[in-house]
Structure 1
């Protein structure tokens, strides 16, 4: 019989144990495993590749080296603050960047104390950066251009809640390898001109585009973009309350974006003519979200049910449809796997029963818990998905809580 109290993993090399940790995917299992011994804690930390760090200005400088010595294999990092605290500054960012030589994805959230100097530091120390995302920030055009010069392999750019969207024009124009572009709530009064310059200069390889709540963005700018982005696979347009993008742009999308697989329209009053063009030309369309449009009626929905040949997922939110339009999917669109209908006043639960009687395998959700349609499009960045909570190292007081499936929050308060 084997003797009790013997740890047979001690005979395993660190490299083998590290491989085992890569197969531990759940939060609790990975967290508990790291508490078995100091050796397991060390190896678990070294195999972790993604971290979300609460980064207010009171984050002690003495903590930064120890944190990033412990997690020395990071490829993805989120630095986040909030409206109630000032964020870390350029000096903090310099210490962090110097400890993350393999960083490929960086997200800055509400870090308003990071300036052009901080962006210059990133360009020098994180040259492998492929994905950059920021929600708010204190940097301007000079810092963005500097980041571009040092991160020539940038593939994904996401910017939001900044003082002027035009400041990012030089970055986008110079990013010939850009595949994903997301712009949210950027100020500026000449977005059409900006998009025209961007499209002509840089976006021929673009595959994912989000235009969300951009002031003064009209059909003109979007048409210019899709004319030059013929490889678009995922497109999200959030018109918000301004509603300056409409059928003219949708017809251009149908004409030029023949490889489109996912389309999200929020606040876009699409008529049957423009939807018909998309359905007929975009034969690879697998996901369609139609939200907050009074122009979407049973006529448009019935046509989609009849003509869509590849559609798998459909979301209808706050549109003027009724049971008649939804019931068209009982016989049409044989490829449909899931349909969600929410906040459509004329749609009743009776249609759910009728659909289920005809198509038992179809997933049907009526007035289910809402999820923003914009977030339905997920970038294929190849990010690691098995990250969990961070257990505190010996002698450190840390509070960890899960942020989402692939990241976690390490709160290092005073």
Structure 2
């Protein structure tokens, strides 16, 4: 009954907080917080995570956030994501999670201050002072990400560490901090479990050695990349102090066998090992196979001195291995992959990328031995033929994802075998596999009823017949048929009629599509959030108008080089889609009025050539 509050008078604060905690989407929480002041305050108590673009992250900014969101334990600050001040605060609802904090800051100030704040937002980054205020405002912080925050130094990191002694995860990617700051983290944060030091060029062995000596027993995950002054000495310290380390990600031209040998011998609980080290040899992998018996995930990238001998040791020793990624390992052959397949029966994920020595025989071994395989990616594998996927189709009944890129020897019969044998397939991505055509895609539509994500980029032999079968048999959420020139109106219309859950569609470079497709998509796919129609010459403003009439949830629209689309069509998309976040179009097609109204969401492919 109007005028009677049947909720606030009955439910105590504790129960309301529990209700808010169970809301599964940010937009729902935002809507609830607008009901009344009580709900606003209670909903703020449930917020545990803040995501902020670093631009404008001043001391005053974090003071305000800490007063309003008192239970925050996770903070993500990313310098790559700037915050733009909305042109019309009252008219535009922004769902972007990185803009919310900026709007909160701006709305708490009067009009006189807003112009000054706008200047701050555009020109300043997170400083040591801001980092100190962040630490003081959120003393119970457990997870902090500082991505490419180049203006913080050792002093700021020390003040943060002294305030947030419960910190468990710290990401310093791209931050130019030094050894003193890292040592302070080790001294104060004795519960630190995760540490990411990717692109921290100011660090040397001294800082990492001191950190591991002080809090090494709690450290479980360590990532290092492009740190030229961190050498094998640091890994030797890790092996001595970090006995419980579970994850190591290492990308370095300066590491050799000695440091990794020490880690393999000292860290027996290691579960994840990702290496991009050109100077590491088979000796390291032999030791990993002997000592790291709990290893579950192994990724080897660009190894120049690594052969089947090392992979044999992994296959014979690491019986718990579930995920294997091999990228540009040119000295590996079918023999090494076969040993892993027969020795590691629990393998669920396999990626072979640019390993030119691996061919059909190696993949056949996987199909025969790895019955639990759920994801397979074959990228730039010219020597892998159809017989490999025939064996995968027969032996890997639980396969859910298949990725093929530039596999020129794989054709229709191979995909038909996958479709008939792997009926649980949910994701199929194929790019530039020119032997695959309609016959294969029809089989996928008939047999793989669980398929939701299909990408067929630049597959010249795929046409309307394949997509009609997909529309009849599968309920897709994501479809990419960019560059499939034989696809026309009838194929996409079949998708529009048969896939009402479609959220993402890429039909770029399809010359046969017209406005009828846009009308049918608008009628049949109201949940569409992303559409890419670039280089579609026959789609016009009229087609766009039909599309956005019902697709009000649209967030992204790319329409570069669509000759039939004018500034009026661009304005139609902007005005009809309240959730729009990105429009990619030529600059000449954006009117001055549209630019004033929604300049923050418009991107240009070419700017003033």
What TM-score results when the alignment is normalised by the length of structure 1? 0.73
Residue matched to 1:181: 248
Q: 1:225 aligns with which of 279, 282, 288?
A: 288
Residue matched to 1:110: 148
Structure showing the higher helix proportion among its residues: 2
Q: 1:29 to 1:245 in 2, by over 3 A?
A: farther
CA RMSD of aligned residues (A): 3.7
| CA deviation string 1:349-389 (max 9, x = no partner) | 3310133334545555433549xxxxxxxxxxxxxxxxxxx
8 A contact 1:108–1:135 mirrored in 2? no
8 A contact 1:49–1:75 mirrored in 2? yes
Q: How does 1:345-360 map to 2 (within 5 A)?
A: 345-360=434-449
Residue matched to 1:30: 29
Q: 1:153 aligns with which of 214, 218, 223?
A: 218
Residue matched to 1:169: 235
8 A contact 1:230–1:258 mirrored in 2? no
What is the number of equivalent residue pairs in this alignment? 366
Q: Are residue 265 (structure 1) and residue 377 (structure 2) matched?
A: no
Alpha-carbon distance, 1:267 to partner: 2.3
Q: Are residue 297 (structure 1) and residue 385 (structure 2) matched?
A: yes
Give distance in 1, aligned partners of 2:182 and 2:255: 26
8 A contact 2:359–2:384 mirrored in 1? yes
Q: Secondary structure at the match of 2:418?
A: helix
Q: Secondary structure at the match of 2:429?
A: strand
Q: 1:357 to 1:307 in 2, by over 3 A?
A: same
Give distance in 1, aligned partners of 2:237 and 2:39: 42
Q: Secondary structure at the match of 2:8?
A: helix
Q: Which runs of 5+ in 2 are unaligned?
A: 83-122, 150-174, 303-325, 458-478, 482-579, 582-609
Q: Which runs of 5+ in 1 are unaligned?
A: 371-400, 403-414
8 A contact 1:251–1:277 mirrored in 2? yes
Residue matched to 1:62: 60
Q: Are residue 246 (structure 1) and residue 312 (structure 2) matched?
A: no
Residue matched to 1:74: 72
Give distance in 2, aligned partners of 1:359 and 1:70: 49
8 A contact 1:116–1:144 mirrored in 2? yes
Residue matched to 2:266: 201
Which structure has the greater CA radius of gyration? 2
Q: Secondary structure at the match of 1:46?
A: helix
Q: Secondary structure at the match of 1:296?
A: coil
8 A contact 2:423–2:448 mirrored in 1? no
Q: 1:207 to 1:262 in 2, by over 3 A?
A: farther
Structure showing the higher strand proportion among its residues: 1
Q: Are residue 341 (structure 1) and residue 341 (structure 2) matched?
A: no
Alpha-carbon distance, 1:22 to partner: 0.8
